[in-house]
Structure 1
């Protein structure tokens, strides 16, 4: 039986407030300074000193500006680090706008295919409602970026620079999502009216042509052939003519994208460790690389990240960046804010409970460029963000090892660093991974 809050209850709660030691002073502090400033622990700042035993030089940070392309920036940053060192081009960037265009276009087609797959379900079914809530957005996963690169290649930023809409994507996304939802009405009606496959595909082709036009107007037309012209750090001039996005990738980056594996740490009861997972309706390129997550303990994630760093390779990772972090200080640490002490209440939750009860999920991707190891154990991690040089220490952050434990959910590691047992799991389960629901937190887009 439900119980309403009574006047007697309120009187008791007020008495509890008045009897809390220091209550009046705490109330004034929080009212004037807010929760975070009032609970900030200066000790955390002193322990997060920015010196690391392994510290890879990666140069000036990039800036995603008012867009949700962190996953894309982080992945392209790991690739540009090699180009900067090998070809001695300080400050070089790959075109985030190029991959942004093709991701948006492929997500449109991916959305249409999912609309057709679910056309027989009621409009208020959970799957259809989830699909219509956000037909496409800026976020993504590592596997989605590699699907774009495998199909379209990549270009230098100088060849396809930023536009207003790539740097501030809100207006474009609003128009594109309006268009996709309208198209969903048409496609679902065609299916309900038993239209032929030919008529449905003709309607979809027209929709995609219109989507391409919207993206061309907002982001520009992706180049199919270009010259790569640059002057290296020694002032030597170089030009490489008649490249395609694919030949540029093969010549200047040359990574085998299949060599990299997404590893997650999801300590929830429904996801046993050492198994492979995918997420229903999560992806972008139809027929391209699909999302595959290998679930491991957080200690395994850390050990593998350290192996990769020790070999001079940076690490793409996904986390809940808004938890226990300060972008001005560039610190991410569970001890940074003492909310328990401030409010005389217990806010502690396990990582599994935060995932199961909607308190946390992956929201942002960045790059690990260093780690401080003391007595064989990591104590803090150096992080390259994509929020420009004004955030943190010229764009770099430091994360405590405890923060890694609690709020890092994904790292991407070259398979050569994985044990043979784990490589066998990937090989044996790749074609039949456990399929998670579309709204599972491991399907969150950074």
Structure 2
């Protein structure tokens, strides 16, 4: 039976508060400085010095500005390292706007298909409500970018540079989502009216043509062919003409994207380790690569990341960046704030509890470019962010090993580093998770 808060209970709470010897001083400190500044642990700053035993060559940090394309920036940043090293380039970037255009266009089609697939369900259905809550957004996952590259390739940033709307995505997202919801009204009504498949396909095709025009106006039109001209670090001029985006990827990156596996660490009861998982209605390219996560224990998870770094290759990863982190200093450490001591309460939860109870999920993607090993064990990790060079150490962050344990959920690893048993697990049929599962969160 529900019970209200009584006046007697409030009097008891007040008495207990006033018995705290530091209550008045702590109240003034928190009111004037905020929770984070008051609970900050300066020892964390000392422990998180940016020195690492394995440290890949630093690249100029990119800046996603006021957009949610971190997953895209992080993935393209792993690839530009390969290009820069192979072709002796300086401050080179791939076009995030190019992949952004095709991502939004493909997400529109993905949304239409899901709306049609659920058209027999009422608006109150959880799946329909989930689709309509956010028809499309900036965020994504590694497998979604590989699906785009497989279909559309990539281009240098100079060929399709940033625009106002790519760097400040609120307006384009709001406009496109309005249109997609309006289109959903029409598509659901056509299904209810038992329109023919041909008529529904024609309506969807008309909507996609409009979406393309909207995106071109906002982001520019993606090139079908282009010339790649550059000077290398030795000032030698190079020109490669009449390239398609697909040919550019094959020639200048050349990765077999099927060899890269999404690895997650989700220690929840519904996801046993060493098995494969996918998420219903998660993706962007209809008919493209499926999102497939291999769930591993945290120690195996970290050892794979170390192997890839030791081989000279950076590691894409997804995490909950807002937890226990100082954006300005570029420190991510479970010890950086001590809220338990400040408030005299226990705020600790396990990683599984945070996932199960909605306290944490993947919110941001970055690139691991280094690690500090002491007696063979990691103590801290070097992270290349995409928030420009005015945060952290010229845009690079330091992540404690304890923070990785608690708040990193996904890495991408070349399959050549997997054991035979894990390789076998990547070939099994994945268990399908619900659309709202935390492992379906978009970075």
TM-score tier, shorter chain, comes to over 0.9
Residue 334 of structure 1 corresponds to 334
Residue 65 of structure 2 corresponds to 65
Contact 1:362–1:441 under 8 Å retained in 2 = yes
Residue 183 of structure 1 corresponds to 183
For structure 2, the residue ranges without an aligned partner over 5 or more in a row are: none
- Cα shift at 1:163: 0.3
- Cα shift at 1:265: 0.4
- The count of corresponding residues between Structure 1 and Structure 2 is 443
- Cα shift at 1:85: 1.1
Partner of 1:120, secondary structure, is coil
Shift >3 Å, 4+ stretches: none
Residue 132 of structure 1 corresponds to 132
Residue 204 of structure 1 corresponds to 204
Residue 5 of structure 1 corresponds to 5
Choose from 416, 434, 437 the match for 1:437: 434
Aligned ranges 1:360-439 → 2 under 5 Å:
360-427=360-427, 429=428, 432-439=429-436
Residue 21 of structure 2 corresponds to 21
Partner of 1:90, secondary structure, is coil
Q: Distance in 1 between matches of 2:57 and 2:233?
A: 15
Partner of 2:305, secondary structure, is helix
Residue 294 of structure 2 corresponds to 294
Instruction: Give deviations 1:360-408, integer Å, cap 9, x for gaps.
Output: 0000000000000001100000000000001111000000000000000
Residue 312 of structure 1 corresponds to 312
Q: CA RMSD in A?
A: 0.4
Partner of 2:34, secondary structure, is helix
- Cα shift at 1:86: 1.0
Q: Distance in 2 between matches of 1:305 and 1:58?
A: 18
Instruction: Give deviations 1:186-219, integer Å, cap 9, x for gaps.
Output: 0000000000000000000000000000000000
Q: Distance in 2 between matches of 1:299 and 1:5?
A: 46
Q: Distance in 2 between matches of 1:313 and 1:298?
A: 20
Aligned ranges 1:85-234 → 2 under 5 Å:
85-234=85-234
- Cα shift at 1:58: 3.0
- Cα shift at 1:337: 0.1
Instruction: Give deviations 1:230-261, integer Å, cap 9, x for gaps.
Output: 01110111100000000100000000000000
Say whether residues 1:283 and 2:283 are aligned partners.
Answer: yes
Q: Distance in 2 between matches of 1:74 and 1:304?
A: 18
Q: Distance in 2 between matches of 1:254 and 1:401?
A: 32
Partner of 2:383, secondary structure, is strand
Residue 52 of structure 1 corresponds to 52
For structure 1, the residue ranges without an aligned partner over 5 or more in a row are: none
Instruction: Give deviations 1:330-382, integer Å, cap 9, x for gaps.
Output: 00001000000000000000000000000000000000000000011000000
Contact 1:65–1:387 under 8 Å retained in 2 = yes
Q: Larger deviation: 278-287 or 13-22?
A: 13-22
Contact 1:58–1:81 under 8 Å retained in 2 = no
Partner of 1:337, secondary structure, is coil
